[in-house]
Structure 1
Amino acid sequence: MVNQNSSSTLSKAFNWLSIAFLVYIVLVAVSTVSGGFKLASGGSEGAKEIFAFATNPLVALLLGALATALVQSSSTVTSVIVGLVAGGLPIGIAIPMVMGANIGTTITNTLVSIGHIRNKEEFRRAFSASTVHDFFNLLAVAIFLPLEILFGILEKLAASLSHLFIGDTDLSLKGYNFIKPIVKPTVNVVKDAVSFLDNTAAGVAMVVVGILMILFAVTYLGKLLKQVLVGKAKELLHSAIGRGPLVGIGSGAVVTVMVQSSSTTTSLMIPLAGSGVFTTRQIYPFTLGANIGTTITALLAATAITGAAAEVALTIALVHVMFNVFAVALIYSVPVLREIPLTLAEKLAHIGSENKTAALGYVLGSFFVFPGLIMLAVR
């Protein structure tokens, strides 16, 4: 018994050390992407040329959605966007990309619902519970992207907040930044490893290595956190759903922060919906909380950026937070708006349960074919 307890303690300690290491890898990766982008682009002028194809907000939006659907992680994509912004990507392009990442991340729980496809009623319930997330995010983008293009509300608010923390005032945190000296040696190792290439190629190589590091770290971080916390997360999920929308939203955010993945949080709920334990209406608020909780990764990534780019990196991370918080506050508090995602999800689920091909067509078309075709058309 003593040996068994000792082995369990060592296993838990190893898991937590691994989590700390993977968080470090995320910070190193974001700095690597930022440094590589600067090197490849030759500064801000080069950056403008590289992203000329995405000057259209619609292209930027679809690029974010498509990238997230392909890697199945909004945390990964938003972390990369933070690094790219620090390297010169204009905020005006990055904001639609972040919004697109919100759309793309919903594919995971929609794919989970396909697992119920053999049972018509189970599939209808599961597909409805998964696609309510899709329609909420689409509605949020339909409301906030035009407002952002016209008035820049999110960018201005986020920029004001980030300046309070990283600005020219006495409250600046630059002098207290301990991240840079910790990550710089590892970033330099990557930079030295590709130094035999010319500047552009070396920069591209650094961006690719940084993205691969983020993919690796976020994937295994999610798995480890699930091992350590998923039992508590499931308990919280079961106790929260059905206790009211505010508790549901709060619990969804907490669970997502715990497991560092909105995909994990929302996917946990789909089997419960499919089996009839909870309705789409009951699960809906928990899903919205997951949207808020997933923004923690971009904030973490922003702490890896120092110097002149620190403020703009924090700005895009805060835009991600504000977009999700404001969308939940507005849409869920207005009854007419609140019912739109529910109504559309239930109608689509009814069609999908009657015609499985239509359901599969929705998944492939919405997340891959349609974004790809639109991007090609408007470029």
Structure 2
Amino acid sequence: MPAHVAALPADGERSTSSQWVSWLLVAALIYLLLAAVGAIGDGFKAATGNNAKQLFAFATNPFVGLMIGLVATALIQSSSTVSSIIVGMVAGGLPIEIAIPLIMGANIGTSLTSTIVSLGHVRNGEEFGRAFSAATVHDAFNILAVAILLPLELLFSPLQRSSEALAGLLVSDAAVDMKGMNFMKTLLAPASDTLGAAVGWIPGVWSGIALIVIGVALILFVVSAIGKLLRKVMVGRAKSIMHASVGRGPLSGMASGTVITVLVQSSSTTTSLIVPLAGTGVFSLKQVYPFTLGTNIGTCITALLAATAITGPTAVLALQIAIVHLLFNVLGIVLIYGLPFLRQLPPTIAVTLAGLAQKNKLYVVAYMGGLFFVLPLALIGFSQL
């Protein structure tokens, strides 16, 4: 064998090298995500001053906030993106009581992706029925969770109170600065200074608005790029976890849904992986159901990560809304899946919707367009009359 051929790196070495490059890119993108969230907070403060609450007066109706979160997530197709933006806005002055319905709406909006994926089976009636029910069980659960927890939140504020207590404990324990040094602030200072300088020439509140736009654009790019990179590195492993654990009971299914969503950084990707498997009969609706609940928990990691970008007096508020997102999903599972009389409601709704969809595909158009766009936009419009 010629010497130059023998010197070529083995496939395994190239693969390992490629994975290292991918993980370094993920680390760089996470840094950009943190910088982008900080930019939104800084821009929001610069643009609104002390008037953030007045700016969002139109959303003081919690149902309007819910609809805004739903439509925004359905359009962007990423609850991770929307929740990260909300964290930045809370850091900039958006009141927690307005942000909570926005977060709940994002939970509903993210389930549109799996419903779209189910359309890939539309030519085979039986497969389509299984795929559509596997997709819409996620919708039904998230809607039911909001229907139960939003009224409870409006009456007793359990999420706001408990998240405030937890955030206070975590920030007071974890954010003790050594000799006045703040690690995250120091780490993000180069990016913050660069972004600030980029809009520094823009006069008045427009510099703040420009910073918000840059922050949102960066989050859109980063969440998408991280998702693609992690899918490339982890999806094979994710499928192995899925096949090994989904059929072993509800707790195992929830755990695998959580882990895979953390690995690929997208609940939409995770549910999109399992819907085709449900359509072809690999997994039953009973097995898919707890798995999708795990994706709700896994997707909270992005908002928690984003909250670490915020420093100063608003750090506790940013962490609080991220904790609200986690508590909402955990409490929803405990209440709905934990109570037998509620547990079967989402699968029953999903099977009913799938039956209608199999009979007439116009039901699919009406369901997707009505739930995710027409109804929310109409409610927002009517609220302004």
Of 130, 134, 137, the match for 1:132? 137
Task: Tell me whether 1:41 sits opposite 2:48 in the alignment.
Answer: yes
Q: Which has the larger radius of gyration?
A: 2
In 1, distance between residues paired with 2:11 and 2:171? Answer: 48
Query: Quick one: structure 1 residues 357 and 309, their matched pair in 2 at CA, closer, same or farther if it must change by over 3 Å?
Result: same
Counterparts of 1:56 and 1:303 in 2: how far apart (Å)? 29
Alignment partner of 2:248: what SS?
coil
Measured after TM superposition, the shift of residue 172 of structure 1 is: 5.0
> Displacement of 1:42 after TM fit?
1.4
> In the alignment, which residue of structure 2 is the partner of 1:181?
186
- Which one is further off, 238-247 or 189-198? 189-198
Who is 1:89 aligned against?
94
Q: Which string of whole-angstrom CA distances, capped at 9 and with x for unpartnered residues, describes residues 252-303 of structure 1?
A: 1111111111111111001111111111111000000000010000000000
The reply to whether residue 351 of structure 1 matches residue 343 of structure 2 is no
Q: Is the 8 Å Cα contact of residues 252 and 265 (structure 1) preserved in structure 2?
A: yes
* Secondary structure at 2:309 match in 1: coil
Residue equivalent to 1:112: 117
5+ residue gaps in structure 2? 1-7
Secondary structure at 1:2 match in 2: coil
Aligned partner (choices 352, 371, 375) of residue 366 of structure 1 = 371
Separation (CA, whole Å) in 1 of partners of 2:198 and 2:264: 33
- Whether 1:23 and 2:25 are equivalent positions in the alignment is no
**1:9 and 1:263 mapped to 2: Cα distance?**
28
The alignment status of 1:272 with 2:277, answered yes or no, reads yes
Contact 1:76 1:214 in 2 (8 A): yes
How far off is 1:239 after superposition?
1.2
User: What's the C-alpha RMSD, in Å, of the aligned pairs?
Assistant: 1.1
Moved over 6 A (4+): none
Q: Secondary structure at the match of 1:166?
A: helix
CA distance in structure 2 between the aligned counterparts of 1:286 and 1:3, rounded to whole angstroms: 38
Secondary structure of the 1:205 match is helix
Which residue of 203, 214, 220 corresponds with 1:209? 214
Distance in 1 (alpha carbons) for counterparts of 2:211 and 2:159: 30
Contact kept? 1:132, 1:342, Cα under 8 Å: yes
How far did residue 50 of structure 1 move?
1.1
1:161 is matched with 166
Counterpart amino acid of 2:25?
Answer: S
Q: Please report the TM-score for the alignment, with normalisation by the length of structure 1.
A: 0.97
Deviations 1:185-237 (A, max 9, x none): 21221121112222311111111110110010000101111111111110111
2:84 to 76, 79, 84: 79
Q: CA deviation at 1:174?
A: 4.0
| Corresponding residue number in structure 1 for 2:20 | 13
Please report the TM-score for the alignment, with normalisation by the length of structure 2: 0.95
Which amino acid is 1:71 matched to? I
Quote the residue 1:102 is aligned against. Answer: 107
Work out whether residues 80 and 211 of structure 1, in 8 Å CA contact, stay in contact via their aligned partners in 2: yes
Render the CA deviation track for 1:161-190: whole Å, top value 9, x for unaligned: 1111213xxx35141642211112212211
CA distance in 2, matches of 1:326, 1:348: 26
Number of equivalenced pairs: 374
1:251-290 pair list within 5 angstroms = 251-290=256-295
Is the 1:33–1:83 contact (alpha carbons within 8 Å) kept by the matching residues of 2? yes
SS of 2:350's equivalent in the other structure is helix
Corresponding residue for residue 66 of structure 1? 71
Q: Secondary structure at the match of 2:122?
A: coil
SS at match of 2:247: coil
Which residue, out of 214, 218, 223, partners 2:223? 218
Residue in 1 aligned with 2:244? 239
One-letter amino acid of the counterpart of residue 173, structure 1: A
CA distance, structure 2, for counterparts of residue 174 and residue 159 of structure 1: 18
Deviations 1:300-329 (A, max 9, x none): 000000000000111100000000011111
User: One-letter code of the match for 2:49?
Assistant: G
Alpha-carbon distance in structure 1 between the residues aligned to 2:365 and 2:284: 22
| C-alpha distance in structure 2 between counterparts of 1:315 and 1:348, whole Å | 36
Correspondent of 2:39 among 19, 22, 32 = 32
Q: Distance in 1 between matches of 2:247 and 2:174?
A: 43
Secondary structure class of the residue paired with 2:121: coil
For 1:298, the aligned partner's letter is A
Residue type at the aligned position of 1:20: A
Judge conservation of contact 1:174–1:306 (CA < 8 Å) in 2. no
Distance 1:238 1:376, change over 3 A: same
SS at match of 1:175: coil
**Kept after mapping to 2: 8 A contact 1:110/1:127:** yes
Uncovered stretches (5+) of structure 1, i.e. residues with no partner: none
Deviation at 1:115, TM superposition (A): 1.1
Is 1:342 aligned to residue 322 of structure 2? no
Quote the offset at 1:140 in angstroms.
0.2
SS in 1 for 2:201: coil
One-letter amino acid of the counterpart of residue 24, structure 1: Y
Measured against aligned partners, the alpha-carbon deviations of 1:88-136 in whole angstroms (never above 9, x if no partner) come to 0000000000000000000000000011111111111100000000000
Q: Distance in 2 between matches of 1:281 and 1:172?
A: 41
CA contact (8 A) 1:174 1:307 kept: no
Instruction: Tell me how far 1:378 sits from its aligned partner.
Output: 0.8
Say if 1:74 and 1:105, in contact at 8 Å, map to a contact too.
Answer: yes
What CA distance in whole angstroms lies between the structure 2 residues aligned with 1:199 and 1:340?
52
Instruction: Tell me the SS of whatever aligns to 1:278.
Output: coil
